[in-house]
């Protein structure tokens, strides 16, 4: 089976590509490298001893996509390509809608033209907005509070409409909670450009001495220690969820929407102390004002994923921190300092 992985050089895409290769899939990675380095895929090839067909291209460019589909018979697409920084999406909404929404329109049109109608889409827990209660189930009300989140919601709705118009489509919408960690080899991991927005890479860069201290955004939330609670999920567990989705897609009728989370919520302070324990390093921090748009608690009900995909997250918070630390220590500047 041949799988096209858009955005496959990125953080989640590279880990998923590795597992796909290990499981015997033929993989084509399609990436513009706007937020990634081809080095991630070189390392995946080294780790697996297998070749990846790596194609530089942009999902917004129909000709780039056509070149892939006219040469290869693609059986399914795992669609990671997208921009993901919430703050940036507020400043540059049109760029986000163009990339994430218009890019997906182009992708689906070219897929349909070539008879490929199976897609696994990277959605996000952000589509639940500020949930009325936790844990979050897939049938909770949806709303987004920023252009990034709205771009995810729009694509979800668009893919549902596509299925309604043509029942040959098979669509899996995977709503990720908070991906963290890295491959246990320490060879591939998250490589954010500039100052990280997300907690885990910020903690890791602070522990390695690249950042002076972590700002904890608020300690007055209604949580066990006042800091925000999230469902951190190891990226390798998340990648495995994609393989389960692919296994499911062949027999799927319609659109399947699934949370990928652990079901366990940890606070910012829990993450700091787990990281200190795993790394043996201090993570200096200060309490700062709340970050606008943040919510108190967000964690998944993972029951439906277990039921329909036979998948559940296995890796502990300690493994998430140890693996992040190994990646950070071995690659203090991400993929950039490569001979």
- Residue whose C-alpha is closest to residue 240's, from 304, 186, 305, 285: 305
CB of 111 to ligand UDP, least distance (A): 29
Is residue 148 flagged as an active site residue? yes
For the CB of residue 98, give the shortest distance to ligand UDP in the complex, in Å: 22
189 binds, among ligand NAD, ligand UDP, none (CB under 5 to 8 A by kind): none
Nearer residue to ligand UDP within complex by CB, 48 or 197: 197
CB of 310 to ligand UDP, least distance (A): 27
Contact partner, 84, from ligand UDP, ligand NAD, none, Cβ < 5-8 Å per class: ligand NAD
Residue 280 Cβ vs ligand NAD, minimum distance, rounded to whole Å: 26
Look at residue 13 and give the partner it binds from ligand UDP, ligand NAD, none, a contact being a CB closer than 5 to 8 Å depending on partner kind: ligand NAD
Q: Which of 58, 231, 240, 270 binds ligand NAD (CB under 6 A)?
A: 58
CA separation for the pair 133, 146 (Å, rounded): 20
Enter the tokens of residue 132.
């009325």
Sign of torsion over alpha carbons 279, 281, 282, 287 = negative
- Least Å from the CB of residue 12 to ligand NAD: 4
The region that residue 175 occupies, defined by phi over 0 for left and psi between -120 and 50 for alpha, beta otherwise, is beta
Considering only 14-22, 33-41, 210-218, 318-326, which stretch makes contact with ligand UDP by CB under 6 A? 210-218
Q: Kindly state whether residue 60 participates in binding ligand NAD, applying the rule CB under 6 A.
A: yes
Q: Is 266 in the site for ligand UDP (CB under 6 A)?
A: no
31 binds, among ligand NAD, ligand UDP, none (CB under 5 to 8 A by kind): ligand NAD
Q: How far is the C-alpha of 70 from the C-alpha of 240, rounded, in Å?
A: 29
Q: Does residue 299 touch ligand UDP according to CB under 6 A? A: no
Question: What H or E segment, with its residue span, contains residue 19?
Answer: helix 11-22
What lies within 8 Å, CB to CB, of 5 at 6+ separation is 13, 16, 17, 20, 27, 28, 29, 30, 77, 78, 80
Q: Are 286 and 218 in contact (CB under 8 A)?
A: no
Q: Would you tell me how many other CB atoms lie within 10 Å of the CB of residue 74?
A: 21
E strands present in the chain: 2-6, 26-31, 53-56, 76-79, 118-124, 170-176, 178-180, 214-217, 229-230, 232-234, 254-260, 266-267, 285-288, 297-298
From the list ligand NAD, ligand UDP, none, pick the one residue 176 interacts with, judged by a Cβ distance below 5 to 8 Å according to partner type: ligand NAD
Q: Given the rule CB under 6 A, which residues bind ligand NAD?
A: 6-7, 9-13, 31-36, 58-60, 80-84, 99, 103, 122, 124, 176, 179
Q: Given the rule CB under 6 A, which residues bind ligand UDP?
A: 178, 197-199, 202, 214-217, 228, 230, 268, 291, 294
List active site positions. Answer: 148
């Amino acid at each position: 089976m041949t799988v096209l992985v858009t955005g496959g050089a990125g953080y989640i895409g590279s880990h998923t590509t590795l597992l796909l290769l290990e499981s015997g899939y033929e993989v084509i990675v399609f990436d513009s490298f706007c937020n990634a380095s081809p080095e991630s895929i070189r390392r995946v090839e080294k780790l697996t001893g297998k070749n990846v067909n790596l194609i530089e291209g942009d999902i917004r460019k129909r000709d780039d996509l056509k070149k892939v589909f006219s040469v290869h018979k693609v059986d399914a697409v795992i669609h990671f390509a997208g921009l993901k920084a919430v703050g940036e999406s507020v400043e540059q909404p049109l760029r986000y809608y163009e990339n994430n929404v218009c890019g997906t329109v182009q992708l689906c049109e070219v897929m349909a033209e070539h008879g490929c109608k199976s897609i696994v889409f990277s959605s996000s827990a952000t589509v639940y907005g500020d949930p009325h209660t936790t844990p979050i189930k897939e049938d909770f009300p949806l709303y987004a509070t920023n252009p990034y989140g709205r771009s995810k919601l729009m694509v979800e709705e668009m893919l549902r409409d596509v299925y309604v118009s043509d029942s040959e489509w098979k669509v899996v919408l995977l709503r990720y909670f908070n991906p963290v960690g890295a491959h246990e080899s320490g060879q591939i991991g998250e490589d954010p450009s500039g100052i990280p927005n997300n907690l885990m890479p910020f903690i890791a860069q602070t522990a390695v001495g690249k950042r002076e201290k972590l700002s904890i955004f608020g300690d007055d939330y209604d949580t066990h220690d006042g800091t925000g609670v999230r469902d951190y999920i190891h990226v390798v567990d998340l990648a495995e969820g994609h393989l389960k989705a692919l296994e499911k897609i062949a027999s799927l009728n319609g659109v399947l929407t699934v949370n990928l989370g652990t079901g366990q919520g940890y606070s910012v302070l829990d993450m700091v102390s787990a990281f200190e324990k795993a790394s043996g390093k201090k993570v200096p921090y200060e309490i700062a004002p709340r970050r606008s748009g943040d919510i108190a608690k967000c964690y998944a009900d993972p029951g439906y994923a277990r039921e329909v995909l036979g998948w559940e997250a296995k890796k502990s918070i300690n493994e998430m921190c140890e693996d992040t630390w190994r990646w950070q220590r071995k690659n203090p500047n991400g993929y950039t300092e490569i001979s």
